[in-house]
Structure 1
């Protein structure tokens, strides 16, 4: 199982040098990818620009957009962003897409929250056509630049539930899941659901399975830092629910993280993403030790 690290873009203390420092350190470590997520009405930097910086200062790791909330955006612009990122990374780009769950982000971008699942299906089909070189309308030139990867990068679906998974099985190359607790049983169930839906859709390939969890390492009071981060990040759910979910987060010691990684591998994950709750670069050093010990 490969192990990637997300940038700590949602954590307090993210500053001017964080993107480049973290991307370079991740590229130098025993990790498979550097990833960035999308959120608008929060304190984080914008995803595509941040991924561009990551692509420019790394040479080895995959660059994972995890994920585009596709219904929020004009598809031609996303296609151009993907082509640009694929060029900047020389074909190291992977893309995940989903519907998101934050109505405020949709409202802030003037996008329609209602019907977002059907919007996702429709926009993925349009995106694939554009990445394959089809023009956005008759008489137009194709959207550029062309991807280094023929037809564009693989597309993962941020789908967890049965309905979303069945829809994703028609167009995705795999899934990008998440478990706040890093629970092996939860990861197994998502993977089994994906396999089932892929088979029902008549797919002849098995889905790529990516998962992850929130993690705090390398800082004093890591458990408290993890809890505080998760409660703040999920605050849009309301304080009571956010606190309840935050209480389940547990990846705040090397020992627990090693246990979570072992469980995820046994659960059939192809790649597991560590999502940092802190911006201290010691996180990367400690995570690298945990990953190296598994070799």
Structure 2
């Protein structure tokens, strides 16, 4: 979903959701920011549950430390109910202290340990455990027994290892599309999940994308990153743009996706750099050709 783009409205968001749901895609994803003008993630989850029927809905990512964990568990269980069990929850610690401060959260809680403790509490809620002496436990129960599958959003091996005991997979990100480095992280996950005895992990990665000819796609990525990465001096963003994300033709995107399939990626999440729905139409043509 193009949630980090400016001037969004209901019609644009609904059109994107419907097109993704009608297309060859496996999931529909969106991220969370607080001190930004993106739609609030959990409110959007309710709308996406109503607007779609087929694809999995994946938060990439929601940050538990920005929420009361019991209320977050209730909100996600409600989202799972509204989409009839199609919810996957990607979670991470986030990268911006301004988002923590905006909701009165302590940036000192921006740790994997704190996140794991909140995950444990959420799972207890989803299991129907009474956490207080209330008459009834916190509900509703999620459609998916035990709660929605959890994926850890991360770029680093230490974080991946620490999540093997509670996550069902990895919702990673690659800045430079280096499949070798991505496969190293996937290998860390494979080893960690095997050692934890929790089966094979679901392996997903993501990257910013823009499809088109000539210089226009790279210029589109540049505009998006300058706006989105507004906490970084613009000269640093300018320096990273030439090697960040995908900017190219449909054939070039097909080759990139084939490369990630070759290293065992279960999913690749394409992060929009424009709200122009033609971008998702062109991506759909590429994905359909992959078979």
TM-score by length of 1: 0.92
1:161 paired residue number: 156
Question: Per chain length, whose mean CA-contact separation is higher, i.e. which structure has more relative contact order (CA < 8 Å, sep 6+)?
Answer: 1
Segments of 5+ residues of structure 2 without an aligned counterpart are: none
1:286 paired residue number: 282
Segments of 5+ residues of structure 1 without an aligned counterpart are: 1-6
Counterpart CA distance in 1 for 2:277 and 2:157 is 38
Q: How does 1:229-248 map to 2 (within 5 A)?
A: 229-248=224-243
1:105 paired residue number: 99
- 1:51 is aligned, of 22, 45, 52, to 45
1:36 paired residue number: 30
Counterpart CA distance in 2 for 1:281 and 1:72 is 31
Counterpart CA distance in 1 for 2:42 and 2:171 is 18
CA contact (8 A) 2:65 2:109 kept: no
Pair 1:193 & 2:164 matched:
no
Moved over 6 A (4+): none
Q: What number of residue pairs does the alignment pair up?
A: 288
Counterpart CA distance in 1 for 2:237 and 2:120 is 34
CA contact (8 A) 1:183 1:263 kept: no
2:5 paired residue number: 11
Matched position secondary structure for 1:257 = helix
1:4 paired residue number: none
Pair 1:206 & 2:200 matched:
yes
CA 1:179–1:140: 2 relative to 1, 3 Å = farther
Counterpart CA distance in 1 for 2:135 and 2:260 is 46
TM-score by length of 2: 0.94
CA contact (8 A) 1:10 1:43 kept: yes
* TM-fit CA distance, 1:218: 5.5
1:3 paired residue number: none
CA 1:227–1:256: 2 relative to 1, 3 Å = farther
Matched position secondary structure for 1:175 = strand
Counterpart CA distance in 1 for 2:148 and 2:21 is 20
* TM-fit CA distance, 1:236: 1.6
